């Protein structure tokens, strides 16, 4: 297939945070897009809260989205790991206003996507969002250099196709059919508990309370701090899609999982487990899957690209899934702008983009190991922490503040990488 010369119209499969942010980023670069989303509209419930950290908030601020969401979520700086008696074990920085200009922001996913769509609606004639639109595969014979693909069985075309359709990406299966998501052996279980029902009184509202069985996590889930997301993780055998769906719908089974080794928990975590079970209507289970590192995130000479969880699903314990997706789509838009202006050919621009992103994601993968160990039962946690001392020292900058992660200026770093690639091309 002929290489992509100038992307004037990009088709985006998936209307979640990755796809909507990409559409907005492309619009800022003067590139039109169409977002195809499977659901009939923005669903009333499309997941719980998400954590946005300074590396993503800086980008969203540049796009005019931060001002739309900052008062609709809960801002904080640290996740404290404590004993059940309240003794501080460790402090994990999630954001820092004086160091990185932004605190971390916990906001409902639905709210975030709605505000992204509102921002997109102000981009005149640059973005079209099509709902009830299921991607049904690629047409193997391109026409006039365009990518031909199916939406609800009907052929559509675009200069480029981007898969922003999550960890079970249909676009990824179309170009890399042998790649399968890898199960971590763990599931998360969460529930929403009103603050008024809690007897726990801790000054920092974002807590991971460690005990003999691991940790119970508690995050504020609204701007008023009236509702908390309470969650923990449990080992579980892998199930197929039908099996996971059955487990999710079986509230009694989820409550039984939560109460495994109940007497081994201390008083505080037993109270939190009881509160989760009492609010069974909001009990939600999700298996932890990751995508094995892909050698390439693009195909057909750069005309098909994967972003977000479709390309690099990271362990949810880092709190970086959405944030890394936002970094990826923002930097991709800059790479495509370099193609549009003739600075670089598409294959080279995407090579630079992918290389820069992979380096960032290697650090996030190491962070995932640290966060996993921090949530283990006490004895196992203490044993494994000794083997991670170097990673902790390097990633936490000696201060636990993660400057490499939160302090990044994506525009500056990505543009510098693209300029270096162009200069190198001109001298060869």
Q: Does pTM surpass 0.75?
A: yes
**pLDDT given at position 21:** 97
Helix axes 267-278, 251-258, angle to 10 degrees: 180
Starting at the edge strand found earlier in the chain, the sheet holding 284-290 runs: 88-93, 78-83, 207-211, 214-220, 227-235, 182-194, 284-290
Cα(393)–Cα(202) distance, integer angstroms? 28
* Predicted pLDDT of residue 191: 94
Q: What are phi and psi of 156, to 5 degrees?
A: -130, 165
pLDDT for position 391: 52
**pLDDT beneath 50: ranges in the chain:** 43, 45-46
Q: What is the pLDDT of residue 329?
A: 97
CA dihedral 219, 222, 223, 226 (to 10 degrees): -90
Cα gap 31→33, rounded to integer Å: 7
Retrieve residue 74's tokens: 């809960």
In the prediction, which pLDDT does 45 show? 46
pLDDT for residue 371? 65
Give 347's contacts (C-beta < 8 A, 6+ positions apart): 3, 301, 302
- 147-151 vs 154-158, strand pairing mode: antiparallel
Check residue 343 and give its pLDDT.
Answer: 77
DSSP state letters, 214-283: EEEEEEE-STTS-EEEEEEEEE-----HHHHHHHHH-HHHHHHHHTTTGGGS-HHHHHHHHHHHHTGGG-
Structure tokens of 333? 């838009």
């Amino acid at each position: 297939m002929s290489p992509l010369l100038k992307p004037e119209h990009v088709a985006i499969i998936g209307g979640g945070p990755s796809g909507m942010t990409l559409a907005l980023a492309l619009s800022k670069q003067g590139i039109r897009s169409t977002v195809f989303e499977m659901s009939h509209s923005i669903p009333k419930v499309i997941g719980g809260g998400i954590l946005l950290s300074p590396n993503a908030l800086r980008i969203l601020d540049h796009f005019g989205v931060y001002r739309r969401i900052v008062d609709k979520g809960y801002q904080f700086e640290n996740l404290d790991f404590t004993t059940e008696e309240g003794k501080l074990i460790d402090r994990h920085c999630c954001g820092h206003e004086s160091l990185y200009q932004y605190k971390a922001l916990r906001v409902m996913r639905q709210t975030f996507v709605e505000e992204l769509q509102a921002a997109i609606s102000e981009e005149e004639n640059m973005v079209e969002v099509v709902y009830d639109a299921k991607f049904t595969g690629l047409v193997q014979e391109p026409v006039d250099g365009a990518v031909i693909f199916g939406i609800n069985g009907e052929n559509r075309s675009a200069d480029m196709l981007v898969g922003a359709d999550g960890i079970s990406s249909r676009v990824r299966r179309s170009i890399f059919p042998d790649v399968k998501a890898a199960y971590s052996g763990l599931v998360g279980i969460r529930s929403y508990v009103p603050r008024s029902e809690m007897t726990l009184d801790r000054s920092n509202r974002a807590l991971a309370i460690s005990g003999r069985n691991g940790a119970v996590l508690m995050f504020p889930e609204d701007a008023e701090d009236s509702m908390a997301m309470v969650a923990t993780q449990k080992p579980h055998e892998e199930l197929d899609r039908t099996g996971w769906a059955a487990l999710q719908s079986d509230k009694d089974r989820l409550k039984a999982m939560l109460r495994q080794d109940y007497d081994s928990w201390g008083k505080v975590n037993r109270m939190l487990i009881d509160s989760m079970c009492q609010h069974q209507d909001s009990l939600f289970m999700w298996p932890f899957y990751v995508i094995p590192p892909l050698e390439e995130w693009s195909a057909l000479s750069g005309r098909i690209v994967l972003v977000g969880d479709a390309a690099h699903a990271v362990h949810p314990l880092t709190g970086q899934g959405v944030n890394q997706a936002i970094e990826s789509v923002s930097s991709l838009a800059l790479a495509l702008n370099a193609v549009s202006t003739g600075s670089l050919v598409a294959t080279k621009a995407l090579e630079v983009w992918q290389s820069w992103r992979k380096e960032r994601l290697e650090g996030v993968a190491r962070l995932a190991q640290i966060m996993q160990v921090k949530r283990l039962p006490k004895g196992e946690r203490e044993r494994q922490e000794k083997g991670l001392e170097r990673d902790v020292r390097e990633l936490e900058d000696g201060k636990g503040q993660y400057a490499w992660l939160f302090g990044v200026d994506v525009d500056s770093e990505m543009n510098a990488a693209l300029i270096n690639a162009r200069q190198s091309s001109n001298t060869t």
